[in-house]
Structure 1
Amino acid sequence: MRSSRLLSILLLLQTRRQLTARELADELEVSLRTIYRDVEALAAAGVPVYADQGRAGGYRLVEGYRTRLTGLTEQEAAALFLVGMPGAAAALGLTAETSAAELKLLAALAPDQRDRAGRLKNRFHLDLPAWYRDAETSPQLSAVADAVLHDRRVRVRYRRWEEPREVERVLEPYGLVLKNGIWYVVAATPGGLRTYRVSNILELTPTDEEFERDADFSLAQFWQDHLEGFDRIRYTGEAVLKVSPRLAMKMYDVSFPALVKAVAAAVPEPGGSVVVTIPIESVANAATTLSRFGDAIEVLEPEELRTELRDLGQRIRDLYS
């Protein structure tokens, strides 16, 4: 629409101070003739735009002129640069919208604030995936996001862990959560609110059926409750461990939050070793996790875990004998 293009020209000139007709035409993907007409329309509407002649010339706004069409204060616009997630925006199919929003944010700033916003953008970077893990590819993500935004039901074929592995569901998607590079959709089902891993959605069929979401629903609160409930279900027991002095001194390098937290709160024994109690998911899972520490950790309890580790060590020894 022409009105949108006129606003874009205004914001571009306000942000970049001077642009040639060719640069504006390339930026907006229109012809030079269209740019000439649009600039004349802006001038006729009272916008103080003028052209500098010569090889270094171009269109400019009168010094000091700034539009307030964005409706953002300088502080609000500057703060938003700290929470930008270009990777997430691209995954949601919002790359163009993000670029347009960034332009409007920059236009809301005075020149000195604009420089500061540029520094914030170039000096702070958010990298969501955890170490040793790539971000998941979720082909259905943009379709799920569209359904979330428009409160529309979707029919999906979903792959889960238990049998039957593939099931069909009708979901009312309430919101999307990005955790460690993995997208999850929170959706209402006949059985209540559930969480689904978006990468496990094998097929998705949009519908025109709108649903009415619970007005009291809070995505942030739901997710917090979900994480706490997941931990309660996940941990089925405890293990008492004796951590060697050399490992206790290197907890800053260990990617095992429960162990790190327990060691930090413990009082070392004479000699530097530390005895701690940590929650475990299962004996088999704990054995696999703890085996990577070799002889730096000794399991004191439960006896079943000691036996599982001994058997695991024997199987490994047999394999390489």
Structure 2
Amino acid sequence: MRASRLLSVLLLLQNRGRLTAEQLAQELEVSVRTVYRDIDALSAAGVPVYAERGRSGGIQLVGGFRTRLTGLTEAEAQALALSGLPDAAAELGLGATLAAAQLKLSAALPPELRARANTVAQRFHLDVPGWFHDVESPPHLAAVADAVWNERVLRIRYVKWGRREVERTVEPLGLVLKAGQWYLVARVGNTATTYRVGRIQSVDVLGQFDRDRVAAGFDLAEFWSSFSEQFEQRLYPRTARVRMSKLGRALAPVYLGAVGQKAVEEAEAAGADVDAEGWQEVELPVEQGRPAIGELLRFGPEIEVLEPADLRAELAEAVRRMAAAYDSGSAGSQR
């Protein structure tokens, strides 16, 4: 543990130049006294490091000194795959490992390339979740991630839709972060399926499984792409023909996400007529029942459902009920 920290001190000084003991202590999450002991150990080992006291002092290496001890551990090499998602790495318990890997990688770069890498980090940032949606922090995520890394069979208690609790024995194949929510892809019997990690109530480790045998030919990205397409088809089983104003079409990606954006783009690509007031017909995928009514009501007067007839009638009835509530002339608590 101390050897790893000494290497981190060395790489920090090499990458950043002069640092105070307080800055090093904060980076390494140790005490200032520990930092000074580490500096003494590096100096005793022949590393040309020295400290200057005073207001503008600090700890630094003799100019020009560089170490080549930048080899990545297996865990650090794996963590680099999440280098663009530091919050996700932290959720998986890989935050410190990722930081160490990035530090070693930076140390291996020539000074001019290291400067450019630091410039990019200061000017571009990836924020995965949508507005008003935080990345969830499931209590069992770390345990599930460990099972994915180490090929361990899990017995999980899981809450399905409708709050029905079930128990499953699964062989974890991978984790996916989608719109701020974590999903476990696992094999159950002979089938790969998905579980939202936030709905897992308990986790028990049962033993090892042979991933090469169980997941021969399995590709996580391909599976997720296929699953997402099928899920979208199940979620939006029918299509409504609607008229949308210019504002309504602009709101479609906001209210309906990729589904709404795709529908509007397809209408434009097909050359659907736009009338003098800016209205255009769009084939819009919709859910079944009440969820479809709720989604369409969000557009207010910027949309008109033409077909199917039953959906148009249901939406008209919902609008009439809303109008009646507001036409009463008084608030509900005063009636």
TM bin, normalised by shorter chain, reads 0.7 to 0.9
Q: Is the contact made by 2:293 and 2:314 (CA closer than 8 Å) also made in structure 1?
A: yes
Distance 1:275 1:198 in 2: 40
Which residue, 34, 39, 42 being the options, matches 2:42? 39
**Does the C-alpha gap of structure 1 residues 137 and 9 become closer, same or farther in structure 2, counting only changes over 3 Å?**
closer
Equivalent AA in structure 1 for residue 264 of structure 2: V
Shift of 1:274: 0.7
Match runs of 1:1-321 below 5 Å: 1-19=1-19, 28=28, 29=30, 31=34, 34-43=37-46, 47=47, 49-51=48-50, 55=54, 59-71=59-71, 83-162=83-162, 165-207=164-206, 209-213=207-211, 214-248=215-249, 255=256, 256-265=260-269, 266-271=271-276, 272-320=278-326, 321=328
Deviations 1:103-123 (A, max 9, x none): 222212233322222222222
Shift of 1:222: 1.0
Distance 2:298 2:35 in 1: 65
How many aligned positions are there? Answer: 309
Normalising by structure 1, report the TM-score: 0.83
The percent of aligned pairs where both chains have the same amino acid is: 45
Secondary structure (helix, strand or coil) at the match of 2:45 reads: helix
Shift of 1:186: 0.3
**Does the C-alpha gap of structure 1 residues 63 and 288 become closer, same or farther in structure 2, counting only changes over 3 Å?**
same
Deviations 1:66-87 (A, max 9, x none): 3333258xxxx9xx79942121
Equivalent AA in structure 1 for residue 274 of structure 2: E
Distance 1:24 1:270 in 2: 65
Distance 1:251 1:161 in 2: 27
Distance 1:81 1:236 in 2: 36
Distance 2:133 2:101 in 1: 30
Distance 1:238 1:147 in 2: 41
Secondary structure (helix, strand or coil) at the match of 1:312 reads: helix
Deviations 1:210-240 (A, max 9, x none): 1111242211111111112212333322111
Q: Is the contact made by 2:251 and 2:299 (CA closer than 8 Å) also made in structure 1?
A: no
CA root-mean-square deviation:
3.0
Q: Is the contact made by 1:254 and 1:260 (CA closer than 8 Å) also made in structure 2?
A: no
Equivalent AA in structure 1 for residue 286 of structure 2: I
**Does the C-alpha gap of structure 1 residues 274 and 20 become closer, same or farther in structure 2, counting only changes over 3 Å?**
closer
**Does the C-alpha gap of structure 1 residues 278 and 174 become closer, same or farther in structure 2, counting only changes over 3 Å?**
same
Equivalent AA in structure 1 for residue 181 of structure 2: I
Structure 2, unmatched stretches of 5+, are: 329-335
Normalising by structure 2, report the TM-score: 0.80
Structure 1 residue aligned with 2:333: none
Shift of 1:203: 1.5
Shift of 1:287: 2.1
Once structures 1 and 2 are overlaid, which stretch shifts more, 264-273 or 119-128?
264-273
